[in-house]
Amino acid sequence: MLEVLPCYRSTCNPYPSLTMPKEDNPSPQRSPQEDLYCHYASRQIEQTYSLYPEFRLELVEGKFLIGGILAGSRWLLREALLGWGAEAAIAFAPIEQWWEALRVAYQVSHQHPEDWLIWAESLPATREDWWPPLGSQYGGEHRWVRNRLRTALSAAVGRGYGRCFGSHYGMWIGNHVFTPDLLLLEDIQLAENQFYDRYVQGAAHLVIEIVLPEHAEVDEQVRQQYYEQYGVPHYWTVNPIAQQVKFWCNTPTGYQRQSLDADGGYRGVPGLTFTPDLLWVDDDHLPGLPLGLPIVASEFQRRRWQLRQEASETGQSWDSIPFEPLVGLEPVPIQPEQFVSWCPESKLEGGPFPLIGGQRGTRHAIAMLLMTLGLVETVKLLPGYEWVRVLRRIEREQQNDSQQRQAGWQQAEAIAQQLHQDYQVGGVGVIGDLQRSTPLHRWSTIHLVLWDCSDQDWQIKTENPFPVDITEVAWASPAEWQLINQNMTVLVGEWKAQEQPNLGQRSVFHWLDETESA
C-alpha cells in the first residue's frame, strides 16, 4: 500500500537488459533509469518520489495512464487492490469472468471449487513485492520550476493575452485527453468557447512540459509526437536539472526546433517574450540584468474581453454520463467522453485505503484501470490464492443477494419516511444499485433522490450497514438526471418531473465594445 518501504541494496536488477556498475568503479555511461535505480537503492531520503509515478491522469490510445506510462497504471491498481481488497475490483465483472481470467493468466483448467482450493494451497506462501522505481529523484525541482513558470506565465498573459492553465487541466485532442504541466489559450482561442471547467476541446496555443530526467522520452518523444500530430502550434520542454529549454514550432512539415534570439530571449510565440536564464534564479536577477525583469512578458491585448459565468448545457463534465464501465478479460478502450465524466480529481491520499479524489473517485479509477489492463493482467497483481479466497467468499455472499437487497429497500423506505415526516420533504425516490439486476457489491449504496425540500438542515439516523447517497433533484448531475427519468422508484410523494436539471455554470467568452468595462 502507500507507504515508504525499507531500502535494500537488492541483488535483483529491475532492468535485466542493463548491467549495473560496481560502486567502486561507476560507469559514466549510466542511463537515467540506472541513475534512478542507484538512487533508490542507496538513499531513503525522498525515496517516495522515486518509487511512485508522477500522479497525472491521462487518456492515451483508449488507456487510463498514470504518469504517462502503463506501468504507472499497474502500480496504482495494485495499490488500490492492496488497500481496498480484491472485492473492490471484483465488483465490476461477473464472478465467472474472474475465474476465467485466473484460468487464462495461470494456464490452468480448473472448474470445480475443490480444484481451485488444491491449486491455491499449492502456491508459494509469499511473492516478490519489489517493484522498480517509477518516479523521479527530481520531483522537488520539477514542482518548483512548474509553479514558478506558471506564476510568471499567468502574470504575463492575464492582462489580456489569454489564459494559462496548470497541470490536471485536460487537453482533448483526437481520442486522447492529455494533462500538460502548463498550457496557454490565447484570446482568439478563448473566443471559440471550446474550453470548459476540466478541459479544452482541441489543441492549446502553447503546451509546456517539465521534464523528469528519468522519463524524458515520455515528454520529448511520445507526447511530442501526439502534440505535433494534432496541431499544437508551440511546444516547449523544460529540463530543470540541465537548466535547458527546448522550443518547437509546428510548421507544414512538422515540428521545427527553434533557437533563442541574440539577447537570450525567445519570441517564437507571437506577442510573448520568454527569458529562460531568469527561470533558474529565485530573485529574478542575474548579474548584469536589471532587477525585476520578468521571466515572461506579453504585449497588450488586441481587444478587451471578459469571461462570464453562465448556465450551459454544452461540453462534458464530472458525472455527465452514467457510470457504466465495460470490463473484459482483455483491455477495453475508454472513450474520451467516459474519461472526462468519470476521471477523478488528480489527488492521491495514502493510508491503508488509498483515495484517488475521494471514495467515489477511487471507484471510478479502479474501474477505468480494469478497462485499461483487462482482467487477465489484473489477476497477476495479487497472489492467485488471494483471488481464490475472495472469489469463493463473494460467491457465498451473492447467494444471499435477495435478502441483502430486501434489507436495502427496507432501509431506503425507513429513511424516506423519516425525511417526509421530520423534515417535510415532499418526495423521495431511489435510483442506482438497488434498481439494477446485478448483485450488490463492495461499492453498492442506497441512492436517494429528494424533491420539494424545505430549507432546513436534516440528518439521517440509521443503524443499517448500507451507505447512503442523497441527491436533491434540483442539483442532480446529468448522469443522475438520466437515471431519475429512466429508472427511479418513488417511495414518498408523487414525481411529475416538475423540476428541471441543474444546467451548471461555465465561463463564456465575450468581446467587449468601447462602452463596456472589463
Residues 295 and 153 in one domain: yes
CATH assignment of the domain containing 459: 3.30.460.10
Nearest 5°: CA angle at 6, between 5 and 9? 125
**Which residue among 311, 326, 342 closes a domain?**
311
261 belongs to a structural domain: yes
Residues 437 and 299 in one domain: no
Residues 303 and 429 in one domain: no
- As to burial, measured by CB atoms within 10 angstroms (0-12 exposed, 13-18 middle, 19+ buried), residue 277 is middle
CA distance 235 to 230: 12
Residues 274 and 407 in one domain: no
372 belongs to a structural domain: no
Number of domains in the chain: 2
DSSP-derived secondary structure letter, 433: G
Domain membership of residue 454 as a residue range: 402-492
Residues 295 and 432 in one domain: no
340 belongs to a structural domain: no
Residues 300 and 409 in one domain: no
Residues 307 and 413 in one domain: no
61 belongs to a structural domain: no
Q: Are 327 and 92 in contact (CB under 8 A)?
A: yes
414 belongs to a structural domain: yes
Would you write out the chain's pLDDT as a tens digit for each of its 518 residues? 343 333 322 333 332 333 333 344 444 566 776 666 665 555 554 566 678 889 999 999 999 999 999 999 999 999 999 999 999 999 999 999 999 999 999 999 999 989 999 999 888 866 666 677 888 888 889 999 999 999 999 999 987 899 999 988 999 999 999 999 999 999 999 999 899 989 999 999 999 999 999 889 999 999 999 999 999 999 999 999 999 999 999 999 999 999 999 999 999 999 999 999 999 986 545 555 555 678 999 976 778 899 998 888 777 888 899 999 999 999 999 999 999 999 999 988 877 788 999 999 999 999 999 999 999 999 999 999 999 999 999 999 999 999 999 999 999 999 999 999 988 899 999 999 999 999 999 999 999 999 988 877 777 776 667 899 999 988 899 899 999 988 999 999 999 876 666 667 788 999 988 776 65
Residues 273 and 406 in one domain: no
**Which residue among 311, 327, 346 closes a domain?**
311
CATH assignment of the domain containing 272: 3.90.1570.10
Residues 297 and 407 in one domain: no
349 belongs to a structural domain: no
CA distance 402 to 4: 43
Residues 163 and 276 in one domain: yes
Cβ neighbours of residue 493 closer than 8 Å, sequence gap 6 or more: 420, 425, 426, 427, 428, 451, 452
460 belongs to a structural domain: yes
**Which residue among 284, 311, 338 closes a domain?**
311
130 belongs to a structural domain: no
Cell of 466: 448500507
CA distance 322 to 436: 13
